[in-house]
Amino acid sequence: MDVDFGDARSILVGFGAGGVVLLALYSIVGLEDVLSALSQADPLLFAAVCVAAICWLFAWGLALRTVLSVIAVDVSMWQSFLLLAGATFANNVTPFGQAGGEPFSALLVSRTTGTEYENGLAAVASVDTLNFVPSISFALVGVGYYATRFTVGNRVELAAVALVALALAVPVAAYLGWRSRHHLSDLVVRAAVPVGRTLGRALPKLEPPEEPQVRDRIEGFFGALERVGGDHHQLALAVSFSALGWFLLSVSLWLSLGALGHWVPFAAALFIVPLGSVAGVTPLPGGLGGVEAALVLLIVPITGVDAQTAAAAAVLHRGATYLLPVLLGGSATAMLEADNAHGSASD
C-alpha cells in the first residue's frame, strides 16, 4: 500500500512524545507502586478485559458493515472486523486519533471492497460520527447516576460541565458544517487543485487532478453521506452496534479496576471512558500518554481509588484497548493487503 501514514518520522516523534508523557505520568504517581499494583492483578480478569476489547472491535466492525451496506458495499462479518481493526491500528499510530487515521482507513476500505475512495471515506467518517451519539449518552447516564447517588467534587463537576458542552457543541458544529457543505466543497476544490498542480510540476510522475475530478469526488463523498443518513433503519442498527462497543469499552475499564481488587460502580466506567477518549485527539499517536493521564485524573475523584491503582488500571485497560488493537490491526492490515495484492495480480 502506497501509504506512509503521513510521515514515518512524525510517527516516531509522536511515539517518543507519548513515551515522555507516560514516563512523566508514572513518575509522578510512583512507578514502583504502579508495578506493585499490577503484580497483584487477577490474570483471569485481565484475560476478560482482553476479550471485552476484542468484542468491542467486533461490534464496531458490525457498525462499519452496516454503514457500508447502505452504500451498496457488501462485506462479511470477518472482513468488517479486519477492516475495523485496521482502522483502529491507523488511528493508534497516527497523531490526532481518528482525524489522522481516517485517510488510511478509507483507502484500506476502498482497496479491500473495490469501492471508490470517497465511499470508503464516507463510511469511515459516518461510523466515527455515529460513535459520538452513544458515547455522550452513556456518559450522561453515568454522571446522572453519580449526581443522584454520591457527593461529587469540583473535578467531577468540571468534567460534567465539559461533557454537557461537548454534547451541545459537536452536533451544532456538525449541523453547521453540513449546511455549509457546498461552500466547504468549493473551498476544498480551490485549495486542492493548485496544490495538485504544484506537486505535478515538482514530481513529473504525479498526474495533477483536474477541477472536475476533484469536484466529482467531493460530491460523491457527500452523496454517500446523504445515503447513509437517509436510511433510518440501518442508521439505528449501526448506532446500536456502536453503543454495544462503548458498553464493552466501559466493561474493559470496570474489569481492569476489578482485577486490582476495586469493584467500583459500573456507572463510573460509563462516565469515565467517553470523557477519557476525548484525549485521543491530542497530537500523540492514538492519544498515547494523554488518554492514560485523563483516565487517572478521572478515576481518582470519581471512584475514590488511589492514584497508583488508577494508573495501574489505566495500564490494563489501555493494554487491551490500545496495544492489543495495534497488534491485531497491524496483522489485519497485512492480511487484507496481501489479499488485495493477490487479487490485483490475478486480474
What's the domain range around 240?
Answer: 8-16+40-151+232-339
Task: Kindly state whether residue 126 falls inside one of the protein's structural domains.
Answer: yes
In this prediction, residue 337 carries a pLDDT of 83
What's the CA gap between 339 and 347, in Å, rounded? 12
If one compares 37 and 115, the residue with the highest pLDDT of the two is 37
Give the confidence band of 128 by pLDDT, cuts at 50, 70, 90. confident
In this prediction, residue 346 carries a pLDDT of 57
Phi, psi of 275 (to 5 degrees): -65, -40
- Say whether pLDDT at 108 is over 80: yes
Are the C-beta atoms of residues 26 and 308 closer than 8 Å to each other?
no
If one compares 166 and 300, the residue with the highest pLDDT of the two is 300
Three cell numbers written together for 70: 447502505
What's the CA gap between 42 and 324, in Å, rounded? 18
**Cα-based distances in Å from 298 to 33, 74, 143, 160:** 19, 40, 12, 11
Q: How many CB atoms lie within 10 A of CB 234?
A: 15
In this prediction, residue 252 carries a pLDDT of 97
Q: From 247, 332, 305, select the one nearest 63 (Cα to Cα).
A: 247
Per residue, the 3-state secondary structure of 250-278, as one string, reads: HHHHHHHHHHCCCCCCHHHHHHHHHHHHH
Are the C-beta atoms of residues 98 and 43 closer than 8 Å to each other?
no
Long-range CB pairs of 116-121, under 8 A, 24+ apart, other chains included? 116/217, 116/220, 117/217, 118/217, 118/218, 118/220, 118/221, 118/224, 119/71, 119/73, 119/220, 119/221, 119/224, 121/221
Task: Kindly state whether residue 299 falls inside one of the protein's structural domains.
Answer: yes
Q: Which amino acid is at 14?
A: G
Task: Kindly state whether residue 2 falls inside one of the protein's structural domains.
Answer: no
Task: Kindly state whether residue 217 falls inside one of the protein's structural domains.
Answer: no
If one compares 185 and 112, the residue with the highest pLDDT of the two is 112
Give the confidence band of 6 by pLDDT, cuts at 50, 70, 90. very low
Task: Kindly state whether residue 62 falls inside one of the protein's structural domains.
Answer: yes
If one compares 204 and 287, the residue with the highest pLDDT of the two is 287
Are the C-beta atoms of residues 76 and 100 closer than 8 Å to each other?
no
Work out the percent of the chain whose per-residue pLDDT is above 70.
69
Give the confidence band of 286 by pLDDT, cuts at 50, 70, 90. confident
Total domain count, the chain:
1
Residue whose grid cell is 504517581: 29
Task: Kindly state whether residue 30 falls inside one of the protein's structural domains.
Answer: no
In this prediction, residue 198 carries a pLDDT of 59
Three cell numbers written together for 287: 492519544
Mean pLDDT over the full length of the chain: 79
Three cell numbers written together for 2: 502506497
Mean pLDDT score, 253-278 = 90
What's the CA gap between 36 and 7, in Å, rounded? 38
Give the confidence band of 309 by pLDDT, cuts at 50, 70, 90. very high
What's the CA gap between 89 and 104, in Å, rounded? 10
Task: Kindly state whether residue 306 falls inside one of the protein's structural domains.
Answer: yes
In this prediction, residue 4 carries a pLDDT of 47
In this prediction, residue 5 carries a pLDDT of 45
Torsion angle defined by CA atoms of residues 123, 127, 133 and 138, in that order, rounded to the nearest 10 degrees: 170
Task: Kindly state whether residue 201 falls inside one of the protein's structural domains.
Answer: no
In this prediction, residue 197 carries a pLDDT of 55
Quickly list DSSP for 274-331.
Answer: HHHHGGGGSSSGGGTTHHHHHHHHHHHHHH---HHHHHHHHHHHHIIIIIHHHHHHHH
Work out the percent of the chain whose per-residue pLDDT is above 90.
31
What's the CA gap between 71 and 123, in Å, rounded? 8
Quickly list DSSP for 185-212.
Answer: HHHHHHHHHHHHHHHHHH-TTS-PPPHH
Mean pLDDT score, 72-95 = 89
Pick the range with the lowest mean pLDDT from 59-63, 257-261, 270-274. Answer: 270-274
In this prediction, residue 3 carries a pLDDT of 45
